[in-house]
């Protein structure tokens, strides 16, 4: 070891410091057992790390081997960067217009809220859950690690734009993943009993929870019996559920409410984001709204709807004021959906909570360590938390609730929960439809738009140069 060049010792020193800091950050000191491998790689070189590149005659390896070596190293580097630092995310829908646009490519910081250790550590980099050509899984179910989040720069705050795993994506029909499996089963069950009254039980349901469970069972059978339309029904671990991006509007402990499209937190009206949009009903004097009108307002093809002279368009307040000045506009009115009396349009799908997307709540956000009274009425709020998110066995016998085999009249939450909405309020599938977002589903915070492509235009006009390297503001 006396003849080892100084630069190799320097490299070892740098690698040792980085490795030690990483072990401290991860909090698993058993990883120190791997240090001899690092020492050998730089100093002793007893392990033939590049054995697969060596040829029998000692010649330089083929170009294929060189490319394979570079590709493997790149994939491993990307995998580690995606887990601990940041990853790329593309905005697929208009739920956050005009704050973020369809076609924006984002750098999502993992360290803003702390990176999660993966639940499925053996997975192919750059693929969320399914290989696009073969339609096969891009990860293995074993080993499976429990949820653990490393220390980050902060916690999720109200009004943060957040990337998270879709909570209702734990069960997914492969050919039909939107709306959620729960919503599809519920609506298929409703459709089934409307079409065939003999499916209804003779006795009335003991509660809305019992009704939903019964309708879900009918819906599950319908989906399972139609694989040509729905495909295989898949179970996905948390970190392999589809990524969503929304704005966090309520944090643990908040009491959240919407009154006529205005959000209230703890009974106080909040300031709306500058680019928030709602759908407005617009009536013209017979003038047909043309492409020039839509481009002037920046309304994408996907958001254009209506039959002359009546239109329904998502608009910001600034756009509303601009439309009002146009001489051919007869009337403009915001859509304000009232509760239906049945409670079947939004979470928790219960007439005991007769809410709508524009008039929702009040609903308190669950907080880790908080205990709530549990009964057959409010079970519709918490059953997915108890079973799907926190891994308990839930049974209901009559009006009695059993958790892990024990009669329960209270429940203590293990995690924090959040409420996420899109800024394009009437064009967003969000927490109003599938409820709370658990803390273990939080992925990261968008910080930068590095590329933006307009799907309504062809190359090169589709490149939004003005959005390159745009900082994402809350």
Mean pLDDT (whole number) for 166-186: 92
The pLDDT of residue 40 is above 70: yes
Question: Could you tell me the pTM of the whole model?
Answer: 0.91
Angle between helices 181-195 and 208-224 (to 10 degrees): 90
Alpha carbon distance 106, 96 (integer Å) = 13
pLDDT reported for residue 353: 95
Judge if the upstream peptide bond of residue 309 is cis by omega within 30 degrees of 0: yes
Within the chain, all domains assigned CATH 2.10.109.10 are found at 86-255+422-471
Alpha carbon distance 242, 447 (integer Å) = 20
% of residues, the chain, pLDDT over 70: 98
pLDDT tens per residue, range 358-379: 999 999 999 999 999 999 999 9
Residue whose C-alpha is closest to residue 115's, from 186, 22, 241, 246? 22
- Give the CATH number of domain 86-255+422-471: 2.10.109.10
Which positions ≥6 away from 139 have C-beta within 8 Å? 120, 122, 123, 124, 129, 240
Mean pLDDT (whole number) for 114-121: 95
Place of tokens 């080993």: 143
Three-state secondary-structure class, residue 36: helix
**Do 16 and 38 form a contact (C-beta atoms < 8 A)?**
yes
Mean pLDDT (whole number) for 298-316: 91
pLDDT reported for residue 2: 65
Helix, strand, coil content of the chain in percent (nearest 5): 30, 25, 45
pLDDT tens per residue, range 72-112: 888 889 899 999 999 999 998 888 888 898 899 999 999 99
């Amino acid at each position: 070891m006396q003849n080892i060049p100084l630069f190799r010792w320097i490299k070892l020193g740098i690698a040792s410091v980085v490795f030690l800091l990483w072990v401290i950050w991860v909090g698993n000191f058993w990883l120190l057992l791997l240090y001899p491998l690092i020492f050998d790689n730089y100093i002793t070189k007893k392990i033939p790390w590049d054995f697969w590149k060596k040829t029998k005659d000692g010649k330089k390896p083929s170009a294929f081997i060189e490319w394979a070596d570079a590709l493997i190293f790149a994939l491993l580097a990307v995998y580690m960067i995606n887990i601990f630092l940041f990853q790329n995310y593309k905005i697929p829908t208009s739920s956050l217009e005009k704050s973020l646009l369809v076609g924006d490519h984002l750098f999502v910081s993992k360290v803003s809220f702390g990176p999660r250790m993966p639940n499925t550590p053996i997975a192919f980099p750059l693929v969320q859950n399914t290989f696009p050509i073969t339609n096969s899984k891009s990860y293995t179910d074993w080993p499976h690690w429990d949820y653990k989040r490393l220390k980050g720069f902060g916690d999720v705050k109200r009004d943060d734009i957040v990337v998270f795993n879709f909570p209702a994506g734990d069960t997914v029909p492969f050919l039909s993943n939107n709306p959620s499996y729960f919503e599809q089963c519920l609506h298929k069950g409703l459709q089934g009993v409307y079409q065939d009254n003999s499916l209804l039980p003779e006795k009335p349901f003991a509660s809305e929870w019992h009704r939903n469970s019964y309708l879900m069972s009918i819906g599950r059978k319908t989906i399972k019996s139609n694989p040509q339309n729905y495909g295989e029904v898949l179970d996905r671990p948390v970190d392999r559920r589809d990524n969503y991006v929304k704005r966090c509007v309520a944090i643990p402990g908040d009491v959240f409410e919407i009154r006529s499209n205005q959000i209230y937190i703890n009974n106080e009206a909040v300031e709306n984001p500058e680019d928030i949009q709602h759908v407005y009903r617009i009536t013209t004097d017979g003038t047909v709204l043309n492409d020039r009108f839509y481009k002037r307002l920046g309304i994408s093809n996907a958001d254009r709807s209506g039959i002359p002279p009546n239109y329904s368009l998502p608009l910001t307040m600034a756009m509303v004021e601009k439309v009002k000045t146009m001489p051919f506009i007869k009337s403009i009115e915001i859509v304000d959906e009232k509760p239906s009396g049945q409670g079947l349009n939004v979470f928790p799908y219960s007439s005991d909570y007769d809410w709508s997307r524009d008039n929702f709540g009040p609903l308190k956000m669950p907080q880790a360590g908080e205990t709530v009274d549990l009964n057959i009425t409010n079970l519709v709020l918490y059953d997915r938390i108890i079973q799907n998110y926190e891994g308990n066995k839930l049974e209901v016998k009559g009006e009695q609730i059993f958790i892990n085999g024990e009669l329960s009249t209270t429940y203590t939450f293990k995690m924090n929960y959040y409420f996420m909405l899109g800024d394009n309020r009437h064009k967003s599938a969000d927490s109003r439809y599938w409820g709370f977002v658990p803390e273990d589903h939080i992925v990261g915070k968008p910080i930068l738009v590095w590329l933006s492509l307009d799907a309504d235009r062809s190359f090169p006009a589709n490149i939004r140069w003005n959005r390159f390297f745009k900082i994402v503001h809350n």
